[in-house]
Amino acid sequence: MKTAAVAGLSVLALAALAACGHGDAGAPTSGQPETITEVEWRLVAIQWADGHVTRPADPSGYILELGPEGRVRGQADCNRLMGTYALDASRLEFGPLATTRMACPPGSLAPDWLRALGSASTWLVRDGHLHVALADDAGAIELASTAVDSR
């Protein structure tokens, strides 16, 4: 029951954020896909439906950039990531993501980061942060532009 309640709250929170429809002045805005591309985004947190929150000790190890022509690049701890994505006014989904295969140190969040990205479903921007809802109400990813402090 707790899982359903947290998942429901996550969906309601994202719906409320979508209703706002704008970020800070000059910041990316929901509904305008071109405003979130070619921006380097750093992981702030992954809120899972069971209430667990994943926060990286070093956010610079978890980077995502939506490049031109549907290509994504980034960082998954000690590995680079690359792949494809599809984006429109509300949807963000990733194709298969590939990574280099270095052995990251114990405690790496790379598996959680990649699992969350693989479940990406919809997006919106609020207060300069990119929020990505996961499919099947599995949770949400919060990212901050590397030009913005991630708290």
Interacting residues of 13 by C-beta distance below 8 A, sequence separation 6+? 140
- Residue 77 is given by DSSP the state T
The pair of structure tokens assigned to 27 is 């910041």
- For 51-106, write each residue's pLDDT tens digit: 999 999 999 999 999 998 999 999 999 999 999 999 999 999 999 999 999 999 99
Residue with tokens 């099947």: 136
Q: Would you call 32 helix, strand, or coil by DSSP?
A: coil
- For 1-49, write each residue's pLDDT tens digit: 444 444 443 443 443 333 333 334 445 567 899 999 999 999 999 999 9
Amino acid (1-letter code) at residue 86: A
Q: How far is CA 31 from the centre of its chain?
A: 16
Please give the Cα distance from 119 to 122 (Å, whole number).
10
Q: What is the Cα Rg of the chain in Å?
A: 14
Please give the Cα distance from 18 to 22 (Å, whole number).
8
Instruction: Decide: 88 and 112 in contact? Cβ < 8 Å.
Output: no
Q: How high is the pLDDT of residue 31?
A: 85
Please give the Cα distance from 132 to 33 (Å, whole number).
13
